Structure 1
Amino acid sequence: MSEQRIRALALCIFHHHGKILVNQFYDAIKKQTFFRPVGGGIEFGERSHDAIVREVQEELGTSISDLRLIGTLESIFTYAGKPGHEIVQVYDARFDDAELYAKPWLEGFESDGASFRATWCSSDSFTAISPLVPEGLYDLLKSASLLE
């Protein structure tokens, strides 16, 4: 059994015309779809803003700039039947390549090599049945005027 621990995570919000870029996940045990922005774990000795630059480069193969910390969230959840606990640094940033905003989705790769498709979604894409995670992110983005 793996040791339970709190994970430090950095997520990045890319927004364009009232939409944000998110990955779609599915929890087969809960039979629930949910959405989460691009990002990942903060490595030991790494600052969260450096982690998000690295994660976006690794996952999407692109560079970003104008990083701005918009908030910190604490997330306690269950995914695939396993408990999780994360402290999440949430950043706003922009892609250096403006052409990425015109694409309906961006192809990416997880650290294990699995591919994913990040898509632009508006606020009405997120519901109680298909939420934006982590908990509190939707309200944080609304208060920062990053989601309509």
Structure 2
Amino acid sequence: MERDAFIKNDQDWFRVRACGIIIDNNEVLMVKNNVDDYYYSVGGAIHIGETLEDACIREVYEETGTQYEIDKLAFVHENFFYHNNMPAHEISFYFLMKNNGTRIFNSVSHGMDGAQEKMVWISLDEYSKYKAYPEFFKDNLKNISNNVKHFITRRK
């Protein structure tokens, strides 16, 4: 059984996450679950011993039920936040995926707290109107650079 690169104790938690950016028709594919009031990127924790690229392909497939190929690494995000009133530190690697034309997803996936997830397309022009994470997507998805961008977010 694979183990996630996830460390949790009574006071805080840390994980390494691999994420896929899927853009089609000026929209980005995001995830919404039936518990949280926000949208989040497709992806999840890497398994110990798994490469970032393999983790991204696996996570995207688990959440969408569709195979995608990686185009390139686009962003690295160091994220410090609170989850269920517990300090959290997450390092995420965001890979731009090659568009395969799939627009409808029928897979059943669940978030880290067990909430059922669904895939949602969000217009790049309207991303800032949504409570969606990561927030830097709103200013950086329309023109993804050939250079990897690094972001640090600290939320209280």
Match of 2:17 among 9, 12, 30: 9
Structure 1 residue 120 corresponds to structure 2 residue 125: no
Distance 2:138 2:91 in 1: 16
> Could you say which residue in structure 1 is the equivalent of 2:80?
76
Aligned-residue offset at 1:143: 4.2
Distance 1:115 1:132 in 2: 17
* TM-score, normalised via structure 1 length: 0.74
Structure 1 residue 137 corresponds to structure 2 residue 148: no
Distance 1:70 1:40 in 2: 16
Q: CA 1:48–1:66 in 2, change beyond 3 Å: closer, same or farther? A: closer
Q: CA 1:66–1:87 in 2, change beyond 3 Å: closer, same or farther? A: closer
Distance 1:23 1:84 in 2: 20
* TM-score, normalised via structure 2 length: 0.71
Structure 1 residue 85 corresponds to structure 2 residue 89: yes
| Matched residue SS, 1:64 | coil
Structure 1 residue 42 corresponds to structure 2 residue 46: yes
| Matched residue SS, 1:51 | helix
> Could you say which residue in structure 2 is the equivalent of 1:51?
55
Distance 2:29 2:109 in 1: 15
Please provide the CA RMSD for this pair.
2.6
Distance 2:78 2:13 in 1: 13
Instruction: Flag structure 1 segments of 5+ consecutive residues without an equivalent.
Output: 28-32
Q: CA 1:94–1:76 in 2, change beyond 3 Å: closer, same or farther? A: same
Instruction: Flag structure 2 segments of 5+ consecutive residues without an equivalent.
Output: 1-8, 146-156
Distance 2:141 2:106 in 1: 21
Higher-helix-fraction structure: 1
Q: CA 1:75–1:90 in 2, change beyond 3 Å: closer, same or farther? A: same
What is the total number of aligned residue pairs between the two structures? 134
